[in-house]
Amino acid sequence: EVQLVESGGGLIQPGGSLRLSCAASGFSVSNFYMTWVRQAPGKGLDWVSVIHTSDNTDYTDSVKGRFTVSRDNSKNTLYLQMNSLRAEDTAVYYCARGRPAYNFDYWGQGTLVTVSS
């Protein structure tokens, strides 16, 4: 059974850093592209970043230079390193598995990041 479990969220001050983790089971993260999607309180879904099977990465413009996506195949875990956090980064962050033409098929339950002083 495919499962994705996010962790690492919490309350952080503006300008701070946080690393989110997404532990996968039932498949190998190295065989799929993996993505992060966030949802600000009361708002819609917002695509954030992707790591491809080639290890190439892409980001939405608002997080470029501040967020870094990576994975550890030995731990079967996806990460999102978030630096220089801003109030507008406050959101539930979901990891999702992706397949070409399928977009995102499995989702985690999300982890809440709150950026506030």
Binding region for other proteins (CB under 8 A): 35, 37, 44-47, 50, 52, 56, 58, 60, 94, 101-110
Cα(59)–Cα(48) distance, integer angstroms: 6
Question: Closer CB to other proteins, residue 19 or residue 64?
Answer: 64
Question: Closer CB to other proteins, residue 27 or residue 106?
Answer: 106
Contact 68, 51 (CB under 8 A): no
What distances in angstroms separate CA 82 from CA 28, 88, 92, 110, 117, one per listed residue?
24, 13, 13, 16, 17
Question: Closer CB to other proteins, residue 7 or residue 17?
Answer: 7
Question: Closer CB to other proteins, residue 38 or residue 74?
Answer: 38
**Distance in Å, CB of 39 to other proteins, minimum:** 8
**Distance in Å, CB of 89 to other proteins, minimum:** 17
Beta strands in 13-76 (DSSP E): 18-25, 33-39, 45-51, 57-59, 67-72
**Distance in Å, CB of 57 to other proteins, minimum:** 8
Sign of CA dihedral 5, 8, 12, 14: negative
**Distance in Å, CB of 16 to other proteins, minimum:** 26
